[in-house]
Amino acid sequence: MAEIGRDIAKAKAYLEIGNLVGIPTETVYGLAGNALDPDAVAKIFSVKNRPSFDPLILHTSDMSRIAQFVKEIPGPLQRLAKRFWPGPLTLLLPKKDIVPDLVTSGLDTVAVRIPDHPLTKELLGALDFPLAAPSANPFGYISPTQASHVNDQLGTKIPYILDGGSCQVGLESTIVGMEGDKVTVYRLGGLDISKIESEVGKVQVVAHSSSNPKSPGMLKSHYSPSKPFIIGDLDLLISEYSSKGESFAVLSFRRCFPQVSEHLQIQLSKAGDLAEAAKNLFAAMRTLDSRDVSLILSELMPEVGLGKAINDRLKRAAVPEEEKE
């Protein structure tokens, strides 16, 4: 298993010799390697079992470093960067040659983000290269929001995980770029679209799928637990599956279900707070996935604010095995 600790110098030393390290961010944990070293980047793809057509996000510590990697930052995206970085926002920008093609899967844009986590900010500041870091989960599985999640799934493949506690946002970053002069959201995430719109006006949201070349990695099957995950009206689902004699666990927004054992149900936010629900989502999915039941029943969140991004993840988790891309 990997060593888990808070030693930034140790994480730095591993990264400098081309090794991978699990790093905390405010969104989810990342599997980080030197983004300018094609061998380290290749290791990321192999450790995650990730197809090479799915590009990575480049993480850096401040705006002044970004000009090394990108040709320009269009005006509206500059405004977003100034307002929301460090934070759960990723920008798609025209890349310079210094960024290896492996990072961008051959695309001419690179995804860039300044994450907001004290340990990782300090680590990035101490390094003289940016970090490529996808979420630190095997390809297609639920993203990790605690160091132990990373260790459970990738611990035998990496030497070190920097432990920054539980991720405060809990959903991956919102990915934004330009289509012509239109600000475009390619992945719903931890930064609510209404906040983006308050800065740059109305944006377009492009539904992502593997057939969309702008976001080749956004496959339907992302975020899946290993058990069938069924979404609907929980009262109906619970009575249907009880009468079939199936064993199940229940994931709800705020309601408790007295007919289901306490150990087999999780409320994402009893107070009905979507930010709290987002923060708890992936850990709750993991916990229920580990219970001795044959399926997980869930409901959607209210389709407002972060509820939209949470629902996006729930719907992807619910794609039946045979339809997974």
Site residues for Mg ion, 110-139, by CB under 5 A, read: 135
Q: Is 113 in the site for ligand TXA (CB under 6 A)?
A: yes
| Contact residue for ligand TXA among 15, 36, 41, 56 (CB under 6 A) | 56
Q: CB under 5 to 8 A by kind: which of Mg ion, ligand TXA, none does 174 bind?
A: none
Measured distance CA(179)–CA(189) in Å, rounded:
19
Q: Is 135 exposed, middle or buried (0-12, 13-18, 19+ CB in 10 A)?
A: buried
| Contact residue for ligand TXA among 100, 115, 130, 225 (CB under 6 A) | 115
What's phi and psi for 316, nearest 5 deg? -65, -40
Cβ proximity to Mg ion, 2 vs 218, nearer residue: 218
Cβ proximity to ligand TXA, 59 vs 267, nearer residue: 59
Site residues for ligand TXA, 218-277, by CB under 6 A, read: 218
Is the Cα dihedral 306, 309, 311, 314 positive or negative? negative
Helical residues (DSSP H) of 49-117, grouped into ranges: 75-84, 101-104
Q: Is 312 in the site for ligand TXA (CB under 6 A)?
A: no
Quick one: which segment of 210-218, 232-240, 245-253, 287-295 binds ligand TXA (CB under 6 A)?
A: 210-218
Site residues for Mg ion, 142-201, by CB under 5 A, read: none
Q: Which residues contact 138 (CB under 8 A, 6 or more apart)?
A: 48, 49, 153, 154
Q: Is 30 in the site for ligand TXA (CB under 6 A)?
A: yes
Q: Omega before 86 cis (within 30°)?
A: yes
Helical residues (DSSP H) of the chain, grouped into ranges: 8-16, 38-48, 75-84, 101-104, 118-126, 147-154, 193-200, 234-243, 274-290, 306-317
Cβ proximity to ligand TXA, 214 vs 315, nearer residue: 214
Instruction: Provide the minimum distance between the beta carbon of 45 and ligand TXA in the complex, in angstroms, as a whole number.
Output: 10
Cβ proximity to Mg ion, 135 vs 224, nearer residue: 135
Measured distance CA(205)–CA(134) in Å, rounded:
22
Cβ proximity to ligand TXA, 102 vs 296, nearer residue: 102
Q: Is 93 in the site for ligand TXA (CB under 6 A)?
A: no
CA dihedral of 77, 213, 44, 86, whole degrees rounded to 10: 10
Would you tell me which residues interact with ligand TXA (CB under 6 A)?
A: 25, 27-28, 30, 54-57, 90, 92, 104, 107, 109-111, 113, 115, 133-135, 172-173, 175, 186, 214-218
Would you tell me which residues interact with Mg ion (CB under 5 A)?
A: 135
